[in-house]
Amino acid sequence: MDAKALLLLVRVGCLREQALASWTTRTDIGLAVAESATAAYLRLAEQQIPLSPERPAEEMYAACRAALAAAPGEKGVIGFLDSTLPLVARLAEEFGLPGCSPSTLRNLTDKTWARERFAECGVPGPRFRVLDATVTDPADRRAAVDGLTFPLIVKPADSSAGRGVVRARDAAELDAAWEAAAPFTKTGSLLAEEELIGAEISVETVTVGGRTVVVACTEKLSTRGGSFVELGQAVPARLCGASHAEVSQTAAAALKAVGYDHGIAHTEMILTADGPRIIEVNPRPAGDCIPDLIRLAGGVDVYGIAADLALGREVDTDALAPSAFTSGAAIRFLTGEPGAVRRVDGVAEASARLDPARERLVLLTRPGDVVEPVTTNLHRLGYVIAVGDDTATAVERAERIAAMVSVVTSPAAPGEPPARRLPSSECWT
């Protein structure tokens, strides 16, 4: 290839180090990154597009548009964050770049739209109602969910990372759940869904020309109290053959229902007693380092595939179906009691147990931070990635090493600053 193709990443987001590691080593790609000017990883890109800390949408659009317009040859645009997908769609449409339909990308930021498409196409999911977040009268709220069976999951229709996802165990808790979810919606819509009971998994897929292949199924460890926060992931998910076929078919049906015909997707579902039931489709690579786990356990570079798809290059889907896993890989997240972080114990001891070539310990907090109750994925304090001969061994190893690390807190003193939210670009270990 005579010249490098330009791959534009619209914000790095959190826990995406491996994407940059994959792309910066490729000699056929010139990486441009639009990110906050203070982000440490910005300097790794060949073309840096620094943004102000507030990152207003029009600023991002103008900066990214200029970079694409100046690129003379092959180019592509990609995003990891749900909040940037409408911008990615806008840029792809304007420049005629490869990708899924821009309208599909825009629509999939609205869980209500997706839930309605699933229902129309017979894709199994929970019974649900669309709610107006501005409704305040308790009687009107109860009427809005009439016909649904408690417990209900109430959540904003347009948020992510577990923000504002709350369980209402009965009608008495509906008002509190409504109030907790409402601040996180920009569109003013909430969803109330009957709670699905069973193991939670996600299905990581590649779709080309409308054909979907499953790269991996990921098992999850989540809190199941008043809120829902993912505390662990592992691949390959421990499923029987029939279950693997069924979840693969359900994921493909969900993607077809929403018109997702090109790209990487991360589809979440619950394995109920009546079979898989869809939670949501995310039209992007999975978060929480799941692509890292797939690479460690199966040798598949999800981020490399994502780059090729964004650039319109051919991807051999036959080579991906099914992926051959030779081992297991797991991630476990660290949490701590609410309060101010005084010290983090056990880091050296835990690090000494890791294989530095394949495993890692990353801290997302440091002394002086103020830790909040864990109600979203943003409240996690670090993670351990570990590998093993199989999934069970990897999970046991990740949990054992993570348990060696203790984030020691005590009540915050008056005037102590709020928590510093450290993106992956500012992690320390």
If asked whether residues 286 and 322 sit together in one domain, one would say yes
Query: pTM of the prediction?
Result: 0.91
Helix (H) or strand (E) holding 5: strand 5-10
Say if residue 322's pLDDT is above 80: no
Domain presence at residue 156: yes
Angle (nearest 5°) at CA 320 between 332 and 86: 70
Handedness of CA 124, 125, 127, 128 (dihedral sign): negative
pLDDT tens track for 197-208:
999 999 999 999
pLDDT tens track for 351-370:
999 999 999 999 988 888 88
Walk across the sheet containing 189-194 and list its strands: 128-132, 189-194, 152-156, 166-168
Amino acid occupying residue 84: T
Residue 429: per-residue pLDDT? 35
Say if residue 248's pLDDT is above 80: yes
Decide which of 97, 117, 134 is a domain's last residue. 97
Average pLDDT over residues 46-66: 92
How many structural domains compose the chain? Answer: 4
CATH code, domain carrying 308: 3.30.470.20
Decide which of 162, 179, 194 is a domain's last residue. 194
Decide which of 271, 297, 326 is a domain's last residue. 326
Domain presence at residue 38: yes
Say if residue 421's pLDDT is above 80: no
Local structure of residue 413 (DSSP, 8 states)? P
Domain presence at residue 15: yes
Domain presence at residue 24: yes
Local structure of residue 43 (DSSP, 8 states)? G
If asked whether residues 314 and 367 sit together in one domain, one would say no
pLDDT tens track for 113-143:
999 999 999 999 999 999 999 999 999 999 9
Local structure of residue 417 (DSSP, 8 states)? P
State the chain's mean pLDDT as an integer.
90
Its domain, for residue 336, covers 331-426
If asked whether residues 360 and 322 sit together in one domain, one would say no
Query: DSSP secondary structure string, 277-341?
Result: EEEEEESS--STTHHHHHHHHH---HHHHHHHHHTT----GGGGSS----SEEEEEEE---SEEE
Q: In Å, how far are 204, 241, 287, 415 from 320, measured between CA atoms?
A: 11, 17, 20, 54
If asked whether residues 315 and 374 sit together in one domain, one would say no
Domain presence at residue 421: yes
CATH code, domain carrying 30: 3.40.50.80
Q: In Å, how far are 12, 377, 406 from 267, measured between CA atoms?
A: 21, 17, 33
Domain presence at residue 120: no
pLDDT tens track for 60-88:
999 999 999 999 999 999 999 888 988 99
If asked whether residues 407 and 363 sit together in one domain, one would say yes
Handedness of CA 104, 106, 112, 113 (dihedral sign): negative
Domain presence at residue 33: yes
If asked whether residues 205 and 189 sit together in one domain, one would say no
pLDDT tens track for 374-407:
877 778 899 999 999 999 999 999 999 999 999 9
Residue 378: per-residue pLDDT? 79
Say if residue 428's pLDDT is above 50: no
Residue 321: per-residue pLDDT? 66
Say if residue 282's pLDDT is above 70: yes
Local structure of residue 361 (DSSP, 8 states)? E
Domain presence at residue 102: no
Angle (nearest 5°) at CA 166 between 163 and 168: 170
